[in-house]
Amino acid sequence: MRLAKTFETSEPWYRHGWLWFLISIPAVAVVTGLVTLWLAVRTADGLVVDDYYQEGKTIQKTIARTTRAAELGLAAEVTMRADEVSLQLSAADGVALPETLLLTIAHPTRSGMDQALTLRKRDGAYVAPLAPLVSGHWLLQLEDDSRNWRMTTTISVPVSGPVRMVPSAG
C-alpha cells in the first residue's frame, strides 16, 4: 500500500476569476473614493454663504425692490429670439420709464452660462443682443439701471412665445 498521496497541480492563484472579482470590489471603492476626494478639493462650494446676517439684510432689500416695482405698476413682456431679446415695459399712469434696463438671464446651477444684458430703447421697445441659451430652466431678473426696483420670473428654453413678467416675491 502506498501512503504518499499524489497531488494534482492546480492553476496558479492569479488565474482564478473569482479571486479577481473579489479583489475588484474594494479596488473600485478605493478608486471611487479618490475621485470623490479629488472633486471635493478641486471644485468650489458655490452655494455656501459665509455671512448669513448680511445675506438676510440683502434679502430684505430685494423684497423691498420687488414691492417698489408693484407700487409703480410695472409689467413686462419679454420676447427671445435666437440672437436678440426685446422687451415691452408698461407702468402705472404718470410713471416715467427708464432709458435702459438690466436683464439678467441666469442658469440655476451653472453661473458660467449667465448673461447680464443692458437693454436700450429702440422703436418703443427695449432690445439687446443675446447669446444662444441651452435648453432647460432659466431665471430672468429685470431691474432699472439704478436698481430701485426689480421683477423676476422663470422660463424654459426653448421659449414658445412672449414671457410676461410682473412683480412677485422669489
At residue 111, the pLDDT reads: 83
pTM for this prediction: 0.65
CA angle 74, 163, 92 (to 5 degrees): 15
pLDDT of residue 11: 84
The residue behind cell 499524489 is 6
Check residue 44 and give its pLDDT.
Answer: 78
Return d(Cα 96, Cα 90) in angstroms, integer.
10
What pLDDT is attached to residue 130? Answer: 92
Note the pLDDT of residue 7. Answer: 58
CA 105 to centroid of chain Cα atoms? 10
Q: Residue 128 has what pLDDT?
A: 94
Angle at 154 between CA 151 and CA 158, to 5 degrees: 130
pLDDT tens digits, the chain, 170 residues: what are they? 566 665 566 888 888 889 999 999 999 999 999 999 999 999 877 666 677 788 788 788 888 888 999 999 999 999 998 889 999 999 999 888 899 999 999 998 888 889 999 999 988 899 999 998 889 999 999 999 898 999 999 998 888 889 999 887 54
Predicted local distance difference test score (pLDDT) of residue 50: 73
pLDDT of residue 2: 60
Confidence at residue 105, expressed as pLDDT on a 0 to 100 scale = 93
Write down the domain spans for the chain. Answer: 13-42, 73-165
Fold of 73-165: Immunoglobulin-like (2.60.40)
**What are 141's three cell numbers?**
431678473
pLDDT for position 30: 97
pLDDT of residue 87: 93
